[in-house]
Structure 1
Amino acid sequence: MRASRLVTLLLLLQNRGRMTARQLADELEVSVRTVYRDVEALNAAGIPLYGAAGHAGGYRLVDGYRTRLTGLTADEAQAAFLAALPGAAAELGLGRALASAELKLRAALPAELHEYAERIQERFLLDAPGWYGGTDDTPHLVAVAAAVWARQAVLLRYRRWRAPEEIERRVEPYGLVLKAGRWYLVAGGPSGIRTYRVDQVLSLRPLEEFTLPDGFDLAGYWSGYLDDFRARLHTGEALVRLTPQGARRLGVTPTGDGWTQARVPIESIDRAHGEFLRLGTDVEVLAPAELRDRIAGTVRTLATRYGN
């Protein structure tokens, strides 16, 4: 543990230049006294490290010194592939490993690329979850990820939307996917490959190891899954009249300054009912009749409620 801390201290100074004992202690989550001892140990090992007192003081390496201790651990190598998603790494229990991997990657960069790397972090940020999506509670995410990594089957207790709402099933975890801030487990089971929302996992128990089917490709499966999902998403259509503003909101090209008639795909009557109500007076549904009657009934109810 101390050896790892000494390497991290050395890489911090190599990447950031001068740092005070307090700054190093905060980064390493140790006491200032421990930093003093670590600095003495590095000096004894022949590392060209010196300190200066006063307001502008601190520890720094002799100019030009660079360590070669930049090898990544297994956890850090996994975390490096999640470097654009620090939140995802933290959810998987790899937050500290990601920070350590970033230090080592920075240390391995030539001096002329350091400024470029810093500009990227200063100017670009990836925030994957949507604006209105709440943060899912995924207490079993780390355990699911461990089963994926170990190729270990699990007995999964899962909550789904149709009856029976709770099921128990033996599955073989093939991979994890983060989509729009939500984690999904791709797993093989009695009915073939299925996708499970990790926030709906109620419990899981590790079982025996399994072998991944020959030729399975997680990215390829997920691409096909999304294509199938989109094909099933819009199974009907509605005939509507739209104001110019309503047409723009639905992505329809207005035919002039007046009303535009268009056919738009819908997923279901229930879903379309809510979506068209969002447009207010900028839309009139002409067909199907069931959808038009449903919206008309809602409008009458609202008129009665607000009229009183």
Structure 2
Amino acid sequence: MKSSRLLSIVLLLQTRGRMTAAQLAAELAVSVRTVYRDIESLHAAGVPMYGDAGHCGGYHLLAGYRTRLTGLSAGEAEALFLSGIPGPAADLGLGAPLAAAQLKLRAALPPELREQADRMRARFHLDAPGWYAQDEETPYLQQVADAVWHSRVLDVRYRRWQQPTDVDRRLEPYGLVLKAGRWYVVAGPGPRTYRVDQILRLTVLDEKFTPPENFDLAGHWERHQADFHARLHQAEALVRIAPHAASRLMGAAARALADSGTPDPDGWIRAVLPVESLDHAHGVFLALGEDVEVLGPPELRAALAATVRALAMRYASG
């Protein structure tokens, strides 16, 4: 709707400062011509907005002009209350500010939106970690977050999985990411990703750094995830699996079975499944017991056969 778009332009300029017509068009998913028409409508409505030509030009509001009209829809009000996850906010030392902000927002809402926001909070609860995840101790999380915010260099002692396990690192923390209940800091040089709960010692230095101008935390994390999954599955296994056991597969293996599995005459499903490694696959398929048959590679089939023979001998001797 045009009225909603006009309000969005005012709020964008109010929060971001000067923006070009092209930037506004990209943000609102409309044409530049539409932005020009909307600017004319705002001028006609008396909004004190000015446009500067040239390379550094753009539209901006008169200094000091603020609108208190938020234009929140019911869905937007519900989303704001749903997005305030108390656990992570408390981890960052922002539990009390979050509660205070939600209280102020609730008080400012009209009665009908307040009722819908309250219903959202009463009926939806977000709990990010998995069922079997242990709460990791992250004693340095708030210091890392403060260093991210103030662009301060960190000197850390960090524990990694490969030898040598404990190493010293100088980090320029660009941003924090919460994934499945675990905090990660993305830091230069690199940038590289570090688990905050694996920081053994931390000193915040007086030295400051300037984050890369074009660094995009969300984009970096998306690429990091894609690269992680690409490196995760380095092998394949040809298997036959009983239909009732298919639901016990997870992740990439479950997707591969659903996408490319073909039924054998006896009803079992034959498929090529990605696996992290042959050692990992050995444990996964062994857990499925008699409901799976590994056809290849030969070394995985031989390893499973040897384990089964050893188990049979152990239990037969009792």
TM-score, normalised by the number of residues in structure 2: 0.68
CA distance in 2, matches of 1:276, 1:124: 37
Taking the TM superposition and a 5 Å limit, the aligned residue runs for 1:1-308 are 83-189=83-189, 192-207=190-205, 208-250=207-249, 251=254, 252=257, 253=261, 255=263, 258-307=267-316, 308=318
Q: Name the aligned partner's letter for residue 194 of structure 1.
A: R
* Aligned equivalents of 1:81, 1:238: Cα separation in 2: 46
The residue aligned with 1:4 is none
Bigger Cα displacement from structure 2, 232-241 vs 165-174: 232-241
> In structure 2, the residue corresponding to 1:211 is in which secondary structure?
coil
Structure 1 residue 304, shift from structure 2 partner: 2.8
Q: Structure 2: how far apart are the matches of 1:269 and 1:92? A: 40
- 241-250 or 156-165, larger mean C-alpha shift: 241-250
How far does the alpha carbon of each residue in 1:272-306 deviate from its partner, in whole angstroms, 9 at most, with x for none?
11111221111111111221122222222322333
**Cα distance between partner residues in 2 of 1:110 and 1:82:** 18
Cα gap change, 1:81 to 1:209, in 2 (>3 Å)? farther
Q: State how far apart, in whole Å, the 1-side matches of 2:159 and 2:188 are.
A: 17
In the alignment, is the contact (CA less than 8 A) between 1:159 and 1:201 conserved in 2?
Answer: yes
Superposition RMSD on alpha carbons, in Å? Answer: 1.9
Asked whether the equivalents of residues 186 and 196 of structure 1 are also in contact (C-alpha less than 8 Å), the reply is yes
Deviation at 1:212, TM superposition (A): 0.7
Whole-angstrom distance in 2 between the partners of 1:82 and 1:177? 19
Deviation at 1:249, TM superposition (A): 3.4
Name the structure 1 match of 2:33.
Answer: none
CA contact (8 A) 1:155 1:206 kept: yes
Name 1:9's counterpart in structure 2.
none
Q: 1-side partners of 2:194 and 2:86: how far apart?
A: 23
Unaligned runs of 5+ in 1: 1-67, 69-79
How far is the alpha carbon of 1:233 from its aligned partner? 1.2
Offset at residue 81 of structure 1 (A)? 9.5
Structure 1's 136 and 94: CA in aligned 2 closer, same or farther, altered over 3 A?
same
How many residue pairs get aligned? The number is 228
Q: Is the 8 A contact 2:82 2:124 kept in 1?
A: no
Q: Which amino acid aligns with 1:244?
A: P
Change (3 A) 1:210 1:82: farther
Aligned mates of 1:82, 1:205 — CA distance in 2: 35
Determine if contact 1:82/1:89 at 8 Å carries over to the other structure: no
Q: Distance in 2 between matches of 1:182 and 1:108?
A: 34
Identity between Structure 1 and Structure 2 (%): 60
Matched residue type, 1:120: M
Distance (whole Å) between structure 1 residues aligned to residue 246 and residue 217 of structure 2: 38
**CA 1:82–1:136: 2 relative to 1, 3 Å:** farther
Whether the 8 Å CA contact 1:248–1:254 is kept in 2: the answer is: no
Please give the secondary structure, in 1, of the residue aligned with 2:129: coil
Regions of 4+ moved over 3 Å: 80-84, 247-251
Q: Residues 194-241 of structure 1: CA distance to partner in whole angstroms, max 9, x if unpaired?
A: 000111000111121110111000000000001111111112110111
1 CA distance for matches of 2:84 and 2:248?
32
- What SS class does the counterpart of residue 157 from structure 2 fall into? strand
**TM-score between both structures, scaled by the size of structure 1:** 0.70
Q: CA deviation at 1:247?
A: 3.4
